[in-house]
Structure 1
Amino acid sequence: MLSFRAFHPEQEPDILTQANGKHEMWYGVFLWALVSSLFFHVPAGLLALFTLRHHKYGAAIAGVYRAAGKEMIPFEALTLGTGQTFCVVVVSFLRILATL
């Protein structure tokens, strides 16, 4: 990790105060991105998980399944979630939204 301690020019900085190579820089950027991503996505995921039953679209989808007399098995939920994630990744990589 990088240290932000001040040092005098005549002093030799220790290994923690300097990032000599790309590896140290990549590692620091990776850790900050991971921590910030987890900091926002874990609470959002938990909130979504616990409030899904009260959501109007979730209730509408459940109503359609209930009216059709069909149960959603876990594999079907996995398939729909994976397909939705795949669509988001494809749109992200194709940069379709940037052309609008």
Structure 2
Amino acid sequence: MKALHATLTSFGEMWYQIFVWALLSSFVIHVAAAAISFAILRRHRIGKFFPLLLLLMGIATPLTSGAVNSAVIAFIYVAAKFTMIEWHALMWGMGQTALAAGIGITRILATL
């Protein structure tokens, strides 16, 4: 029987759990944005294809920067000899998505 709070001890376990949660949460956010975008742009001649780009970014971003960020977080836990509860992996993964969404909404990168 699985414990209520399973602990992750190896780099691979931590990286995988954080990565999966980042990928899943990013995909859910981008599917919602694509659905809204498609509903608004469905009659536009070219704009109706924009939701496909949103879905592509919902997968591409976590596969690239999300994988690297997850590896860095897992490496820090392993180097510090900490164990990670699965709940913490969920929070780190969703935190990556929330941070990316926050940066995108505030357009802080446009000010640099």
TM-score tier after normalising by the smaller chain length? 0.3 to 0.5
Q: Which has the higher helix share?
A: 2
Which structure is larger by alpha-carbon Rg, 1 or 2? Answer: 1
Please give the TM-score of this superposition, normalised by the length of structure 2: 0.40
Higher relative contact order (CA 8 A, sep 6+): 2
Please give the TM-score of this superposition, normalised by the length of structure 1: 0.43
